[in-house]
Structure 1
Amino acid sequence: MTSTPVSADAVAQAQSQFKTRLAAVTAQIHKRPLNSALDEWLNANLGADTPTYRELKQSCEEGVAQGWLCKYEGGGLRYGRIFKSSEDLHGFSIDVVDMQNVAGPHHVHPQGEIDLIMPIDGEATFDGRPAGWLVCPPGSAHRPTVSQGRALVLYLLPKGEIEFTK
C-alpha cells in the first residue's frame, strides 16, 4: 500500500469514523475478562465473515494508504499508536502494525492484549492464527510473528499497557 495524499479534513473524518467503529467494539468487551471465552465470542460474533470485521479492515487499509496509520518504521515493521487509552474507547489504546513474514519485538501484556488479524497478501497468519481475533490473557508474552504473507494487526491494549523486553 502506498500513501495517497489526502486533505487534513479527510484524515480527521476517517480517524473519527475509525474511532467510532472501534468504540462500538470496545463497548461490547470492556467488562469481560481477556481469556479464551472472549476469544471465542469475538470470533463468533465479530469474526472475519462479519460486517464489523470488514469495516475495521477497510478502515485500516485506507488509513495505511492515506499515511495516518502505520506511519513509523523499524525492525521490518510499520507501526503506530493511533489512539491512546481513553474513556471513549473504554480504557483501550489502539495500535496498528503492518507486518510481512517477520517477528516483532518480544513483549509482555500486563493487562492482556486483543489482536485483530487482517491478512493482506497470501494466507498470512499472526502467531499461527488466520484472519479474526486473538485474545492474549493478562501476563502473557510473545514475539508477534506474521508468516505466509502480509497482514495488518490491530492491537487493543487495556490502559495502553505493554512492556517490551530486552
Structure 2
Amino acid sequence: MSPHEFQRLIAGVTEQLDGRPLDGELADWLNDTYPADGDAFRELAEACRTGVAEGWLCNREGGGIRYGRIFKALPETHGFSVDVVDMKDIAGPHHVHPNGEIDLIMPLTEGTTFDGHPAGWCVYGPGSAHRPTVANGEALVLYLLPQGAIEFTPA
C-alpha cells in the first residue's frame, strides 16, 4: 500500500458520497454498504494500519494524539480531504464541521468507541460540532471533510 494506492481506495468511497447530504441516512447507507465485518471495511482498516506503520499516516503528534492530513480536498477524492488520527482514551480538540464530517471508526482495541460509536461509520451534518472522544482503548479514525472545512474552537 502506498499513498497513491490509498488515494485510489478512498476515491472508490468518496465517488459514491459526492453530492449526497451528510445526515443519518448517509450513516445508515455507509454502515450497510461498508459494514465493519465486511471486506471493504477490512481493506480500508488494513490500509490505514499500514500507512501508520510506514509513517505516511498519522505522522504528527500533539496533545497525546497522532494525526495527519494525507490529502487536501482534491478532485481525485471528490472534494473531500482525508485525515487519519490515532487516539487512545482521550478527547481531542473541540471543532465545528461547516460542511459536515464523515468518520470511519477502526478500533485497535476490542470494544473501543469513538463518540460512543463502535467500529463502523458515523456522520455529522453541516454546522455540527464536537470534542472527538475515543474511550475504552485505542482506535484509528479516518475523517472525510467536504472541501476540507474544519474550524477549531474553544470548548
Residue in 1 aligned with 2:45?
A: 57
The farther-off stretch of 48-57 and 74-83 is 48-57
Q: What's 2:29 paired with?
A: 41
Which residue of structure 1 aligns with residue 73 of structure 2? Answer: 85
Q: Which runs of 5+ in 2 are unaligned?
A: none
SS in structure 1 at match of 2:2 = helix
Aligned to 1:151: 139
Indicate the larger mover: 71-80 or 42-51: 42-51
- Deviation, 1:96, is 0.2
Q: TM-score, normalised by structure 2?
A: 0.98
- 1:75 deviates by 0.7
Q: In the comparison of the two structures, how many residue pairs are matched?
A: 154
> Which structure has the larger Rg?
1
- Match in the other structure for 1:162: 150
1:101 to 71, 89, 107: 89
Q: SS where residue 97 of structure 1 aligns? A: strand
The equivalent residue for 1:3 is: none
Structure 1 runs (4+) greater than 4 angstroms displaced = none
- 2: CA distance, partners of 1:18 / 1:124: 24
The gaps in structure 1 that reach 5 residues or longer are 1-12
Where 2:111 maps in the other structure, the secondary structure is strand
SS of the aligned residue for 1:161 comes to coil
- The superposition leaves residues 94-120 of structure 1 with CA deviations (integer Å, 9 ceiling, x where unpaired) of 000000000000000000000000000
RMSD: 0.7
Take 1:162 and 1:44, find their aligned partners in 2: how far apart are those partners?
Answer: 27
- What SS is found at the alignment partner of 1:37? helix
TM-score by length of 1: 0.91
**Amino acid in structure 2 at the alignment position of 1:33:** P
Give, as a single letter, the amino acid of the residue that structure 1 aligns with 2:143. Answer: Y
